[in-house]
A and B are shown apart, each in its own frame.
Chain A
Amino acid sequence: MTSIALRKDIPSAELEKSQIAFSHVTLDLGGKTIIENVSLDVKPGEFLCIIGASGCGKTTALRLAAGLYQPTSGHVSFDGEPMRAPRRDVAIVFQDYGKALLPWRTAAGNVALALETIGMPKAQRPARIDELLKKVGLPNHAAKYPAEMSGGMQQRLQIARCLAQEPKALLMDEPFGALDAMTRQGLQDEVLSLLDASKATVIFVTHDLEEAIYLGDRVVGLLPHPGRIGIDLPINLPRPRDQLTTRENPEFLRLRRELFDFIKASEA
């Protein structure tokens, strides 16, 4: 728990409650059990990373957290309320950013979609759009269409739209999976500094073990067929994290080894 307190100042009473809670969640899809008996508590402000072999159910778990799927048995709750449908204060960043943006709207228009829907008066929107695009490092691209932007820029734009929802929780499904290593590391740091400011709870799915350790307060590993929790590690690395020193930290290397062994065992 110290790791959470390190990242941001959250009253200790808040830490007692969980924001996203899975309790004995099982999900069947197409006659197959995809997720089996998963129980998981995510505290407000916590940065939880989910790792696991391909096809183990990471995306499915995230969609359950988003309310896009309903469990076959057990339940998912958010701030103590059952999650029966997607909520506006839970934003989801999809891996396939190209499909999650409106290609006929400019960058500004895509952010505006969220602002329109939360009912922000028209007069206030331009300032907010500027602020959000600046936050994700796209201040000079407001008039560009997604087709005119690189993959990294499109993913930033999707994150800006999600932030426009003013989410209490941000769910990210391999958001940087399709990007090159340099872009990826840059975005990792940007996400960390953005979320430090917003105090949002994060569930971050990745198959990159180092990315999970670098970003997270905690890493949960799923076992495949059906998806179950196989490992749950707190990450006690100091913040702010740094691409060089954090990755050279002996604790980082130890955690990487532990997760690597876990993945290897889970695939066997």
Chain B
Amino acid sequence: MKATDIRDPSYFHKVVDCQWACPAHTPVPDYIRLIAEERYTEAYMVNWESNVFPGILGRTCDRPCEPACRRVRTEEKPVAICRLKRVAADHKGDISPYMPALPTRKNGKRIALLGAGPASLAVARDLLPLGYEVDLFDRDPAGGGMMRSQIPAFRLPADVLEEEVDLILNMGVNAHFNYEITSMKDMLDMNYDAYFVGTGAPRGRDLDLPGRQEVDAHISIGIDWLGSVAFGHTHSISGKVIVMGGGNTAMDCCRTSKRLGAESVTVVVRSAFEVMKASDWEKEEALDERIPIVNNRPPKEFVHENGKLKGVVFGCVKPVRDEASGRLRYEPTGEPDVYMECDHILMAIGQENHCPWIERDIGLEFDKWDCPILDETTFQSTHPKVFFGGDSAFGPENIIWASAHAHQAAISIHLFCQGKDLKEDRPPEGLNLISQKMGVHEWSYDAEHDPAQRFIVPHADKSKALGNIKVEVELGFDRALGAREAQRCLNCDVQTVFVEPLCIECDACVDICPMDCITFASNGDEDDLRARLTAPAENAEQDLYVSEELPTGRVMVKDEDVCLHCGLCAERCPTNAWDMQKSAIHIPQLGTYAA
């Protein structure tokens, strides 16, 4: 193998699995260390800079970071990264001194943001410190988009939402609420320098089955219904409720129904439990609230009498794994159809981005799935002035994706307004490595490995929580539990850096490594090397760190897979050929990193 180029920012970035997995590339270990030091405000700001909504995401994020966490590979349970983000938000102090300075003189460029959801807000936050004039338009009476309309208060309290939305609005956004956008042409006529479309995926899917028209009054589209609950138009639901669908919206619908007075609530899903789209913890919460989830039941017909919904007929299928593709297929079990009584149906079977208000003759093209055609790097549409981000770009995703898209779109808008090339002139990613050695046996990070198991987040008393939609179910870690959980972080951003010329090949690192990560061996191609290491390196997704050739003709090979970043190799190295160096990956961003 060729020697590893550790100067390539992506090499060590990948080693920080959580940061790599996070769409916004939040430097997770950085803020976890700050939490361990009880520096909550700074921990919050590290988050705010990269993902913009730490308090909200600390409760609602899809957490792609957690399955990526190295602890999953070494001891099964990941660090509770998402809940630690919330710890930072819950316990932070005054953040005003850390906020970006806002220029008093504007730069003369005007940007229109369509939709007041997370994507638009994040774009506003990135653009305002550079002097842009930012106008925001939304049909709802308040900002937040789907964070406000689709996430129920028992998961995301209104004050948490408002605090983070207002933080951005108060940076000087000209907000136009209750503003229904009906024509993109009209918007373009307003002659802004650039437009950002962040209108989300606002159309919930429907099911056209026999009886659908007749029972229309008893069927609600999940996201619309959640929105009407959020804005106070709906206060109750009665009778027997069936929620159709297996995603997070379905979980929110069933749990909201239970709180608004439904006599019974059942979730019916056409697919198997394991492949439901809802996050595992959302499924667990629903089950914990004793809401039955019935799987492998595709709906067939809405049964009604005199215009009143009586129930639904479902078929019975079983999942079969397709040998070739590895995916699940569903085959009828042969059992008779089942009939389930109900008075109301909440339809939560998916949603789409949908922009009927964008005329199709203005040079802004859509693909065959009716999604705008975008450049995946710049988020620019085929109309050079118009950029997209969030769910309206590539379909429904989580809030964290909206933040990630927004940062890229903001860079593009900035380059566009300056007449620069959106790709050529994009700022590159960067890498900084700083040794953590303080003294002979002192490291500036807590290298000691904490064998503790993942701590459980305390919950509100169930009788209280189920009676009031405003009572937040999860209470979050307190400072003490947060500190304990923070200790579980392996500091994967403190990298093992190897300097060939200093190595005397004494084997001390090989002997001490608790995870058998290090081998000195003759070089070979990757497959060959992986098989010859001290411990088998079977996880091909994790890189091998290969040195230049050493005096004995061998190379040092380190399998990054299960390294604990305990620093023992550096600790036992007589010549400092190994050093523990903190990698800071610079993900370019306007706003805070603007120069």
Co-assembled chains A and B: no
